[in-house]
Structure 1
Amino acid sequence: MLQQYNNILVAIDGSYEAEMAFHKAIEVAKRNQATLHVLHVIDTRAFQDVSSFDSSMVEQVTETAKKTLAEYEKTAQEQGISQVISKIEYGAPKTTIARNYPQDHHIDLIMIGATGLNAVERLLIGSVTEFVTRNAPCDVLVVRTDMDGQPLKTPKNRR
């Protein structure tokens, strides 16, 4: 018996890797006739360090995220996904993607890009992807290749 996924979550952070995960998630959602959840998490901890914190900063980031999610939602619908849910959450990306959102929305597959942080950030605070793979209550598919099955290129060698 083949695994049937009903609710697929793809985490979007603006990176090339996340975009590839999104495109692959569309294909998996189509094959499974699943609901596609497109999630962007605004890391509120980033604003705690700003001494002159202003709520307009959060509003500006939120507006940009809304526009980006609307584009992703439109693309998914144009590709034949009838059930697309796009959502902005606030908090720690690791726990939101790995635990909170999946539990609240009955997610049975998370698709996420392999990287997004540079090596120093990964060393100091840990990779979101690594945390998700270790802590998610459901299957996790880490996207490491493009739509042609070729390894994803880093920004340095992408052409």
Structure 2
Amino acid sequence: MSKRRVLIAIDGSEDSRRAFNFYLDQIHNDGNTALLIHISETPNLPVFTFKTGLKLPVEEWTKILTDKVRKAQSIEKDYEAILVQKKIKYKILSGETFASPGEGIVRLAEKEDVSLIVLGRRGLGNWAKKLVGSVSEFVMRNSPCDTLIIPR
């Protein structure tokens, strides 16, 4: 059995859960290390204008960011509990900020020298992909290693 470092992108969606389960059921072996990554998209924060004076909506910003961090921690703990219960060697990659989830996945795959990236695919239509792009498509085109995209 070869030892592999496999990066699994998680975000709390059914698509990422399906990718995670596919890894567990079809790919994992005892020599592997599962590297979990959750990259939150930058939240939309309330804006201010000079008409309101320079009263910044700091409390709103703090609440939004705190909620975002709590949600990310909850998602990570959920997946971590499964890996611990199954006695799978793992590492959670967090704490870094990236311009987009796709960029973060690719950069951390390079940094962590992974041999495989596993991620779910949301299944955006052609129009939506043209407008906003696709994380899975970005990763597939820019990945430093093999990439497995689990469809819906």
Taking structure 1 as the reference length, the TM-score comes to 0.76
Number of equivalenced pairs: 139
The answer as to 2:141 corresponding to 1:126 is no
Q: Give the equivalent residue in structure 1 for 2:46.
A: 50
Q: Give the equivalent residue in structure 1 for 2:90.
A: 84
The 8 Å contact of residues 43 and 90 in structure 1, kept in 2 or not, is answered as: no
Q: Which has the larger radius of gyration?
A: 2
2:72 to 65, 81, 86: 65
**1:49-79: per-residue Cα shift (whole Å, max 9, x none)?**
6315613312211111101111101102212
Greater RCO, 1 or 2 (C-alpha within 8 Å, sep 6+) = 2
The 8 Å contact of residues 39 and 104 in structure 2, kept in 1 or not, is answered as: yes
Query: Kindly, what percent of the aligned residue pairs are identical?
Result: 26
**1:92-126: per-residue Cα shift (whole Å, max 9, x none)?**
1010012x111111111000112265665422011
The answer as to 2:28 corresponding to 1:30 is yes
1:112 to 108, 111, 119: 119
Q: Give the equivalent residue in structure 2 for 1:93.
A: 101
Q: CA deviation at 1:29?
A: 5.5
Q: Gapped runs of 5+ residues in structure 2?
A: 48-56
Q: CA deviation at 1:128?
A: 0.4
